[in-house]
Amino acid sequence: MEKVLQTAVQSKTRTARDGRLRRFWNNKTLLLMCLPAIAFFIVFAYLPMPGLYLAFIQYNYADGIFKSPFVAFDNFRFLVINGDLWRLTFNTVVYNLAFILLGNVLQIFVAILLNELRRKWFKKVAQTLLFLPHFISAVLIGLIAYNILSYDYGLLNHLLTSIGMDPVKVYSNPHVWPFIIVITFLWQSTGYGSIVYFAAIMGLDNEIIEASEIDGANAFQRIIYIVIPWLKPTFIILLLFSLGGIMKGNFGLFYNLVGANNTALYSSTDIIETYVFRALMTNFNFSIGSAVSLYQSLFGFVIVITANWLVKKASPENSLF
């Protein structure tokens, strides 16, 4: 009896192992096709992760990673006490909220207006121009801002002095930078972002619009009672998705607009990415930089999970996992 059981268990484990092997064998080509990508993500995404151990040591170049003294949470304590962590979180989150909310509202606005236009050539030309800023590098964005804002030669001061006002020193006034950064972001992203909403409006059934016209709805009523409610699900989904990235900053935008060493503006323009970059390239403080990165990744992770949970509630078929 015992023997029978034993062989039964053995054959069961054998078939399980055989099944696993067979599964592997049947999938071998597809697995091989994925191998380069797996190797890529191991090297460039997973290998750096253990490096976050830097956040718990007092890294110095002479001792290297393994011999530098272990300090547990001292780096985090330092960041909390001197207020850096709070300032960075605040700046990163508030900028992103402004980008997401204003961005989506403006994208909807542009998409609805584009949809109302009838001249095809005008629509085409307008769209081409609206998308243009999306295709240029962050370096050029910085240069464009300099063209407009430069104290000596900028267009803004040129206009101000020509109407008899005093020129302004934009690059040393931290209070105006939130507006400049948000406006630049909207300038760059609104046209291209409006495509999603425009495509959603295209999916709106023509018969509904016609029925509303027969019922006597005018253009305002059509937009307010049909088009905008129609866009609401897309809006909510996109909003929740972007909320997942609320701890991630747009390094290229901030770095090129503000400049590498403009300390006068840090109070209102420093985000997590720029801070970590300076920790690495200017102050060579690898541990502090890693501590901020680890905080960003963990906090961001929790937010993505929450956002996904919300998406799942709002529309299950759109959730990520």
Cα(202)–Cα(208) distance, integer angstroms: 12
Q: Decide if residue 224 touches another protein (CB under 8 A).
A: no
Q: Decide if residue 239 touches another protein (CB under 8 A).
A: no
Q: Decide if residue 50 touches another protein (CB under 8 A).
A: yes
**Closest separation between CB of residue 220 and another protein, Å?**
5
Q: Decide if residue 306 touches another protein (CB under 8 A).
A: no
Structure tokens at 316: 């299950």
Q: Decide if residue 80 touches another protein (CB under 8 A).
A: no
Residues 6+ apart with CB under 8 A from 216: none
Residue from 66, 70, 121, 135 in contact with another protein (CB under 8 A): 135
Q: Decide if residue 71 touches another protein (CB under 8 A).
A: no
Residue from 9, 15, 21, 41 in contact with another protein (CB under 8 A): 41
Q: Decide if residue 178 touches another protein (CB under 8 A).
A: no
Rounding to the nearest 10 degrees, give the CA dihedral for residues 24, 27, 29, 33. -100
Contact predicate 299/92, CB 8 Å: no
**Closest separation between CB of residue 215 and another protein, Å?**
12
For another protein, which is the closer residue by CB, 72 or 136? 136
**Closest separation between CB of residue 227 and another protein, Å?**
11
Residue from 4, 5, 37, 81 in contact with another protein (CB under 8 A): 37
Cα(159)–Cα(180) distance, integer angstroms: 17
Residue from 33, 80, 101, 211 in contact with another protein (CB under 8 A): 33
* Nearest of 250, 235, 256 to residue 193 by alpha carbon: 235
CA distances from 15 to 2, 18, 19, 172 (A): 20, 5, 6, 73
Binding part of the chain for another protein, among 69-77, 78-86, 94-102, 218-226 by CB under 8 A, reads 218-226
Residue from 1, 4, 5, 30 in contact with another protein (CB under 8 A): 30
Residue from 9, 140, 224, 228 in contact with another protein (CB under 8 A): 140
Residues of this chain, 90-109, that bind another protein according to CB under 8 A:
none
